[in-house]
Amino acid sequence: MIEVGFRLARPGGFALECGFAVPASGVTALFGRSGAGKTTIIQAVAGVVRPDAGRIAVAGEVFFDSARGIDLPIEARRVGYVFQEARLFPHLKVEGNLRYGERRCRAAERRIGFEAVVELLGIGHLLARRPHTLSGGERQRVAIGRALLAQPRLLLMDEPLAALDEARKAEILPYLERLRDEMGLPILYVSHSLDEVLRLADTLVALSEGRQVAAGPVAQVMSRPEMLPVLGRFDLGTLLDCEVVRHDAAYGLSTLAFAGGELRVPQVGRAVGGKVRARVRARDVALALAKPEGVSVTNLLPAVVEAVRALEGPYADIALRVGEGQLAAMVTRESVARLGLRPGLAVWAMVKSVAVEGSRPEIFAPGLDHGA
C-alpha cells in the first residue's frame, strides 16, 4: 500500500489536508484543479516538502512520521520523480542523464535495465545528444527514463504532459501506457486533465482547494456527487469498464458490454473482446418512468433509483443501479418532483449513443486489467 496522510499549512493561507491508502500497483492519479494541492502531495512523498504532521509510508517503509520523528532524506526514499519541465542536467549528454541515478544505485539492486528503458521509451537514437537539442517530448521521455533507471520503488509524475502541445502529448501517452503495463511499478500521477486520468489511472484521489474530496477506484469515484467541485457540472459522470462485443460497420457503431448491460456507441478502435472505458456524463442521461417508444435514443436501460441528491441551483444528482452496474444521471429538481423520483423506484435510463462519445473521442481509453 501507499499510505499518505498529513496536513501542512504555509504562510499566505495555503493549507492542505489529505489521507489515503491506495494499492502499491498501477497508476494512482492525484486529480484536481491547479492550486488544489496535488503537487504538494507528491513533493511530500518525495521528501522535497515537509508536512507539519502526519505519516507517509510506501510498501511498509516509513518515509515520514511526525509522531516517531522519522523524516527520510530525499535520496534515501528511492522514488523516481518526473517533473513537469523535465529538469535534465544541461552539462550531461542524454546517456549521462540516464545513467546519473543508475550509477548511484548498488548493482545488486538494479532490476530495471538500461537497454530495456531505452527501448521502452524509444530514445536509443538520442543517447549522444545534449538536452538542449531535444524537443519537449523527447526531453520528457529522457526524464522518465532517468527516473526509471534510478531503480525507484515508486514513480512520481508531476503533470509530465502539461508543458507539451497536443501533438507531443499524443506522442508520449502511449509510452506512459507501456510503462504502466510493462514495468510493474506503482505510479503517483498528478494531473488536472480528465482525459489523462481516464486513460491512465486505476485509482483516483480527487482534491479541491487543499482538501481531499474522494479517493478510490476510478470508476467508483467518478460518479460520486462529491466530485462535483472537482469535475464541474459538465464532466460529472460515470466511468464504465467495458468489453467490445461486436462492431456494426454499416452504421459505424460498436456494442460494448458493461456490468449493467450493453451500450451502443460510435465505433471504437479496439477489436472484439478488447477492453475500453466509456464515460457517460450524468447530464447526458435522461430518465423515463415507462419504456419510451419512438425515440431516437439508442440505449434504453432498465434501472432502479438508489439515491436522489439535490445539488446547487436547479440540479439534482440521481444514482442509478443498472443490473450489476451503476450510472449517474443529472436532472432538474423540478423533474425529480414531477416524476416522483425516490430510492427504489424503477425507471428507464436513456443514453444517447452520440453522447457517449461526446466531443472527445479519446474517452475510449484502454481498460485496465492489470494490478486489479
Partner 1 sequence: MLTPEEWTAVALSLRVAFWATFWSLPFAVLTAFVLARARFPGRSLLDGLVYLPLVLPKVVVGYLLLLTLGGRGLIGQYLDAWFGIKLIFTTAGATVAAAVVSFPLTVNAIRLALEAVDRGLETAARTLGASKLDVFFSVTLPLMLPGILSGALLAIASALGEFGATITFVSNVEGQTRTIPLAIYSATHMPDGDAMALRLTLVSVVLALGSLLLASLVDRRIRVMIGRG
Instruction: Give the binding site for partner 1 (CB under 8 A).
Output: 46, 48, 73-75, 77-81, 83, 85, 87, 89-91, 100-101, 104-105, 130-132, 146-147, 150
The CB-of-74 to partner 1 minimum distance in angstroms stands at 4
The CB-of-93 to partner 1 minimum distance in angstroms stands at 9
Give 155 or 316: the residue with its C-beta nearer to partner 1: 155
The CB-of-111 to partner 1 minimum distance in angstroms stands at 14
Give 48 or 339: the residue with its C-beta nearer to partner 1: 48
Give 146 or 224: the residue with its C-beta nearer to partner 1: 146
Give 36 or 150: the residue with its C-beta nearer to partner 1: 150
Q: Find out whether 193 and 176 touch, Cβ atoms under 8 Å.
A: no
Quote the CA–CA distance of 265 and 222 in Å, as a whole number.
20
The CB-of-46 to partner 1 minimum distance in angstroms stands at 6
The CB-of-260 to partner 1 minimum distance in angstroms stands at 43
Quote the CA–CA distance of 223 and 5 in Å, as a whole number.
24
Give 87 or 264: the residue with its C-beta nearer to partner 1: 87
Give 68 or 132: the residue with its C-beta nearer to partner 1: 132
Strand 315-322 with 299-310, pairing:
antiparallel
The CB-of-94 to partner 1 minimum distance in angstroms stands at 11
